[in-house]
Structure 1
Amino acid sequence: MTAPTSTTTAVDRVASTLREQILDAQLAAGARLVEADLTTAHGAARHTIRAALRTLADEGLVTIERNRGARVAGLDADAILALYELRAALEVEAAHLALAKHGDRLPPSVHEAAEVLARACKRARPTWPTVSRAHSDLHTAIVRAARSPRIEQVHDRLTAQTRLFLLYVRPYYSFERLGDEHTALIADIERDGPDVLRAHLRAAAGAVFDGAVARERSG
């Protein structure tokens, strides 16, 4: 295996920094990502910045348009619907498999992830980056519990877009509500089956979808 080059390392570093700035709401949807400014800010060559932006574009976090440059991506109504449909297909099936493989219970790893999210939401001063990561980790834990490498592989590709989606959920949920709903979700999946997960995903997507449609019409 070829050792990573310094250029590859630099690309990963810049992409990682920009990714977290986007997902932690430090860079808003539509914000311009000017190569010259990023070169200065990150102390990186322009080709490194371009490669990092392409990486983020592949993840759905950045849009790059010819002669217009790069911007932080947003989610329109169509993208929200498509993301919901794919997440529901993957996560609901994963929950089915997880229950079947663990005696109609979700394994300790899922319960532990739910507890981490609940604690993050109930801190005296909860922070969005911590809550966002804990939320993503919980849904990932459900998928991991299925022990299906193919489902995991596809779901992992959605991680960045799922955290981006959560930024759009933020206006509709308090931290307390987000934590409480996910704690109840785990118990409900074990009691009533995986379809409650589909309903959970649908409710969140519906709130954001309605807001996106309203913004598109007003725009």
Structure 2
Amino acid sequence: MTAGDRVAAQIRERILDGQLPAGQRLVEGDLSETCHAARHTVRAALKALQTEGLVEIVPNRGARVAGLDADAIVALYELRAALEVEAAHLALAKNGDRLPPSVHEAAEVLARACRRARPSWPTVSRAHADLHTAIVRGARSPRIEAVHDQLTAQTRLFLLLVRPHYTFARLAEEHLELLADLERHGPDVLRRHLRGSAGALVDGVLRHAQ
């Protein structure tokens, strides 16, 4: 891991854990001190995070934490639905209409993280992303996996925005039910699940996109 990768990882986790909210300015000098890195290293890290959709860099105005507006949320929903629903279809078809054990294991990890006496949001956020990644991995399609991996950061950013609409208990229950319904009713269940989450933020916009 290069110095730039290390700094990018530190800033990324602070954004996705909610420590750096959308719109907050990212001052190179401050980050240089916080991350114990040279300013040119911080600059490279911010550019890398810009490609992930987590940072916006405006010429002559500097960098700030990116947000997701209604259009971006709809676009993310549409792309995730295209990838994850097809991946679920393939995963079920290749495993006798059942999801691989790795998917159920990832769901249990998420449920345990949500059911702790004092749940940790960073842990829950990562477990949620790991579950959806496990569904995609179940398809055994390297190209779908590669594209889906590029969405991981934005997916966690989206979950941070939708967090106020969920309790930890509901998040765990909903995803355990999702797997059972996928095996009973097929991959369109996943499309409705993704749409429901996005709709919590932009229902009107999403409805017109259907």
Q: Could you tell me the TM-score, scaled by structure 2's length?
A: 0.96
Q: CA deviation at 1:79?
A: 0.1
Amino acid at match of 2:32: T
> Counterparts of 1:59-74 in structure 2 under 5 Å?
59-74=52-67
Q: CA deviation at 1:24?
A: 0.5
Q: CA deviation at 1:41?
A: 1.6
1:149 maps onto 2:142 in alignment: yes
For 1:85, the equivalent position in structure 2 comes to 78
Amino acid at match of 1:198: R
| Corresponding residue SS for 1:105 | coil
Distance in 1 of aligned mates of 2:77 and 2:8: 25
Distance in 2 of aligned mates of 1:39 and 1:132: 27
Q: CA deviation at 1:212?
A: 9.3
Q: CA deviation at 1:164?
A: 0.2
* 4+ runs deviating over 2 angstroms: 210-213
Question: C-alpha offsets along residues 126-179 of structure 1, whole Å, 9 cap, x if unaligned?
Answer: 010010000000000000000000000000000000000000110100000000
Question: C-alpha offsets along residues 13-40 of structure 1, whole Å, 9 cap, x if unaligned?
Answer: 1000000000000110001000111112
Change in CA separation of 1:41 and 1:117 when aligned onto 2, cut-off 3 Å: same
- Aligned with 2:8 (options 8, 15, 20): 15
Question: C-alpha offsets along residues 89-112 of structure 1, whole Å, 9 cap, x if unaligned?
Answer: 000000000000001000100000
Q: Could you tell me the TM-score, scaled by structure 1's length?
A: 0.92
For 1:194, the equivalent position in structure 2 comes to 187
Q: How many residues align?
A: 206
1:50 maps onto 2:50 in alignment: no
For 2:104, the equivalent position in structure 1 comes to 111
Residues 83 and 148 of structure 2 are in contact (CA less than 8 Å); yes or no, is this contact kept in structure 1? Answer: yes
Distance in 1 of aligned mates of 2:36 and 2:193: 43
Residues 94 and 142 of structure 1 are in contact (CA less than 8 Å); yes or no, is this contact kept in structure 2? Answer: yes
For 1:98, the equivalent position in structure 2 comes to 91
Amino acid at match of 1:129: P
- Aligned with 1:180 (options 156, 173, 176): 173
Instruction: Give the aligned CA root-mean-square deviation in angstroms.
Output: 1.4
| Corresponding residue SS for 1:106 | coil
Distance in 1 of aligned mates of 2:156 and 2:36: 27
Distance in 1 of aligned mates of 2:166 and 2:19: 19
Distance in 1 of aligned mates of 2:168 and 2:80: 22
Structure 2: gaps (5+ residues): none
Q: CA deviation at 1:55?
A: 0.5
Question: C-alpha offsets along residues 7-66 of structure 1, whole Å, 9 cap, x if unaligned?
Answer: x61101100000000000011000100011111222211110110000100000000000
- Aligned with 1:130 (options 119, 123, 132): 123
> Identical aligned pairs, as a percentage?
76
